[in-house]
Amino acid sequence: MAPWLQVLLLLGLLPAAAPASSKPRAAGAQAWELASPELREPVRFALEMYNRGRAAGTRAALEAVRGRVRRAGRGSLYSLKATLVEPPCNDPTVCQLPVSKKTLLCSFEVLDELGKHMLLRRDCGPVDTKSTDDKNETFSSFLPLLNKDPLPQDFSVKMASIFKDFVTTYNRTYDSKEEASWRMSVFANNMVRAQKIQALDRGTAQYGVTKFSDLTEEEFRTIYLNPLLKDAPGRNMRLAQPITTVPPPQWDWRNKGAVTDVKDQGMCGSCWAFSVTGNVEGQWFLKRGTLLSLSEQELLDCDKTDKACLGGLPSNAYSAIRNLGGLETEDDYSYRGRLQTCSFSAEKAKVYINDSVELSKNEQKLAAWLAKNGPISVAINAFGMQSLAHRPRCAARSATPFWAIKNSWGTDWGEEGYYYLHRGSGACGVNIMASSAVID
């Protein structure tokens, strides 16, 4: 199963789309120099950048480091492999949930130009699962200084101007000049990466500037994707009654009043809660005739099996809704995007559910179920979604079938907040975790 998933809402069948594809990255072994005094400054700098913004007591410490250096012109590029130790944390004012001591393996690339440092790459993962293979493809083309084929003279000027537009469009503010220049280098790298993903994508999806373009891949994963889905199977649900009818060629619950506006989960890994409320909103509408926008915050605060902003699973959330006694509305229990004390009140609950079901992995059956019963909660492999700018509204949609998917990243992501994915090929694992609440 794909390790990083986003949970969202399947709500329509449309007759055409672009299949998304992903290829494993190339990996290769390389010889590394032993640590030397020359590494002291770049290592100190990388660690400082890693710990930037962290409160005392939560900063990672360096355990071991190896590195190598390449020189060109006035600059030196240090590639570092470091073992970092993250301290345990039990203080709820500092870390949202208790975390135990963690050892990470990180790859850093630090550019030193006449004593001025810049972090060009940061990629960390748990020491036991992290591959130590070098993955330098992402950043090499961003460095005119070190590149064998020099980039056009105006590359950085152009990039600066695109970045400036980005900052205006998405109203970004940075705490310091260093932060701004770091974000700009992240942005430039993401642009290069987007071009590479574009080349891998067989379809018409367009990758480029999005509101996440100043986040590193790792930050994006941590904040927006769903870590709990990685290994937790969650509660078992009974299988839904199979549907034997053939799905209609086209179906869109948005045209039938079953779908609320696109919401925004903010800097919180709560996609699971949005996916579930979206499904329950649709179920309630179809069974009771009223479309109500329902509370994700209630699930963040009161569903103790899931982990609020650190991820969760729809199967657990349905269970929590039943045990709590229903869902309040968005107005009564508004979204804050962080864990708070549970303040659910049964009297305010406007909606209940009686059960939940797991749906077929066969997309034809899934489509038939959707058209008959309403929007479905699904999880998809979120590869490339950080860079997905928009898909052109092209006529080619009539050629291949696709799913219409509602995400919870605001309307300034994707196509007005929606995503269209090829239907019938298991694209992005869309069929692996489909479920729905049941209202009797």
Ligand X SMILES: *[C@@H]1O[C@H](CO)[C@@H](O)[C@H](O)[C@H]1NC(C)=O
> Residues in the site for ligand X, rule: CB under 6 A?
26-28, 134, 136-137, 140, 171, 173, 352, 354, 440
Cα–Cα distance for residue pair 205/247, rounded to 1 Å: 26
Min dist CB 318 to ligand X, Å, is 13
How do beta strands 116-126 and 5-14 pair? unpaired
Residue 387 CB burial class (10 angstroms; 0-12, 13-18, ≥19): buried
How far is CA 31 from each of CA 81, 84, 110, 133, 288, rounded to the nearest angstrom?
12, 21, 18, 11, 65
CB closer to ligand X out of 155 and 352 = 352
Q: Residue 35 — left, alpha, or beta (φ > 0 → left; ψ -120 to 50 → alpha)?
A: beta
Tokens of 134: 């070098």
CB closer to ligand X out of 350 and 390 = 350
CB closer to ligand X out of 38 and 137 = 137
CB closer to ligand X out of 32 and 352 = 352
Min dist CB 129 to ligand X, Å, is 19
Q: Within a 10 A sphere around the Cβ of 23, how many other Cβ atoms? A: 9
Min dist CB 211 to ligand X, Å, is 12
How do beta strands 376-381 and 116-126 pair? unpaired
Min dist CB 294 to ligand X, Å, is 15
Min dist CB 380 to ligand X, Å, is 28
Handedness of CA 325, 327, 331, 335 (dihedral sign): positive
| CA–CA–CA angle 430, 17, 404 (5° rounding) | 55
Min dist CB 166 to ligand X, Å, is 14
CB closer to ligand X out of 140 and 360 = 140
Q: Residue 34 is which amino acid?
A: L
Residue whose Cβ sits closest to ligand X: 440
Min dist CB 348 to ligand X, Å, is 14
Q: Would you say how long the chain is, in residues?
A: 440
Tokens of 364: 């034809």
CB closer to ligand X out of 27 and 94 = 27
CB closer to ligand X out of 161 and 354 = 354
Min dist CB 396 to ligand X, Å, is 34
Cα–Cα distance for residue pair 80/213, rounded to 1 Å: 24
Instruction: Give the 3-state secondary structure of residue 347.
Output: helix
Instruction: Report the DSSP beta bridge partners of residue 6.
Output: 380
CB closer to ligand X out of 118 and 146 = 146
Q: Residue 175 — left, alpha, or beta (φ > 0 → left; ψ -120 to 50 → alpha)?
A: alpha
